[in-house]
Each structure stands twice: as structure tokens, then as C-alpha cells.
Amino acid sequence: MSFKNQHQQSESKELIELRTWDWIDRFIIKENICPFAQKERANDRIELQIFDTNTVATTADIVVASLHKLQQTPTIETSLLIANTGLERFDEYLYHLDEASYQLARCGYEGVFQLASFHPEYQFEGEDKDDLSNFTNRAPYPIFHIIREQSITNALLTFKYPERIPQRNIEHCKKLGPAYFKALLSSALK
């Protein structure tokens, strides 16, 4: 389930941005999946970058450039790198994610930035494809999310039991149910 038909060619950058913001607003913020997202969205500190890729080297170059940009631009809190084409298959996305993680460490950004992952077909190891726990990381497009580690640390200081956030999100996704996600990830913008 994704906004984009898997057989469709690339979409306009404007449409991808609109659909990604819609997913962020309707799911990530409204359903409190990420308790820090609302503040950064309100302060316009989330950067979206759309790219096409057909090689792991292209993805790695884009991730490295974004890491350097975040390091030099403190007004950008977090960056979402959205693959328009090239990473429709989840196994291919994971291969690129591994390389992106390697590049993050190679560039000396381990402990400075963290890489989170989202994909329309996201599936946790050992989980059934249709298990609702997977939807905590399902998005309309393949996304590499670069987050500042210090910001996460600071934000978590304000939460009682921050270690419970992932389990809370899984339980919440199960309560939302399959119909919610079908509408969220396959419908037109509302």
C-alpha cells in the first residue's frame, strides 16, 4: 500500500512533497508516532529532498551530501531523503540503507546523526508482511530519515519512559487497524 502505483513512473516533486507532508501531518504528528515531529514541523525545520536512484553509489552520494549539509546548517533539524524511483523493492531499499549507514560511519557522523528508515513495504524481520507493527515504518515512498542524535537525547529528557515509545507505536498501529492504513497510504490527499 503506497500512494504511488508500483508500476508508475516518477511523480512530480510537488506531488511527492504534498503526499509526504500529508503522511507526516496525518500519521507521524496527529497519531503522535514521533513525539518531536510537531515542534520541528511548526518551526519549519524539516527538510525534504526528493531524488531518483538506480545505483547504491548514487544513494550514498545523496546521503553523504545531506549529512554534510545538516552538519553545516543548524537551522535544519532533520532531513528526509525521499526516493522517487529506484527503490520500490524493499530488499533493494535495505541494500541501499546498509550502504547509507556505512557512509554515515565512514564520514565520522556516528553519534552525531542517526538514520531511520521508512518504506511502503517495510517489514520487520520475523514479522508477517501484513502485521500492523510494520506500519510504524511504512511511508508513501522509500525514505532515509537523518536525525540529529543530540536533539533526540534532549527531547527524550522530557519524556517519562521514552523507551516505551516504540512499543506504544506498535500498539497504537494495531488499534488504528488495517482500514486506517489502507486509506492513509493509498488514498488521494484529504
| Lowest-confidence segment of 31-35, 39-43, 157-161, 170-174 by average pLDDT | 157-161
Minimal CA–CA distance to 3: which of 19, 26, 14, 17?
A: 19
Planar angle of CA 20, 23, 25, nearest 5 degrees: 110
The pLDDT of residue 67 is above 90: yes
72-81 pLDDT, tens digit per residue, is 999 999 999 9
Average pLDDT, stretch 32-40? 91
pLDDT, residue 187, reads 56
Instruction: Give the three-state DSSP class for 50.
Output: strand
pLDDT beyond 90 at 3:
no
Cα–Cα distances (Å) from 164 to 80, 161, 167, 168, 169, in that order, read 24, 6, 5, 6, 9
pLDDT classification of 9: cutoffs 50, 70, 90: low
| Cell numbers describing residue 107 | 564520514
- By the 8 A CB rule, do 173 and 135 touch? yes
Q: If you average pLDDT over residues 181-188, what whole number do you get?
A: 79
Q: In 10 A of CB 20, how many CB atoms?
A: 22
Which of residues 111 and 35 earns the better pLDDT score?
111
Measuring CA to CA, how many Å separate 100 from each of 30, 59, 106, 124, 146?
A: 29, 7, 10, 19, 10
Least Cα distance to 25 among 54, 46, 50, 49 occurs for 46
Confidence of residue 5 (pLDDT cuts 50, 70, 90): very low
Length of the chain: 190
Q: Give the predicted TM-score (pTM) of the model.
A: 0.91
Stated as kind and residue range, the H or E segment containing 90 is: helix 90-106
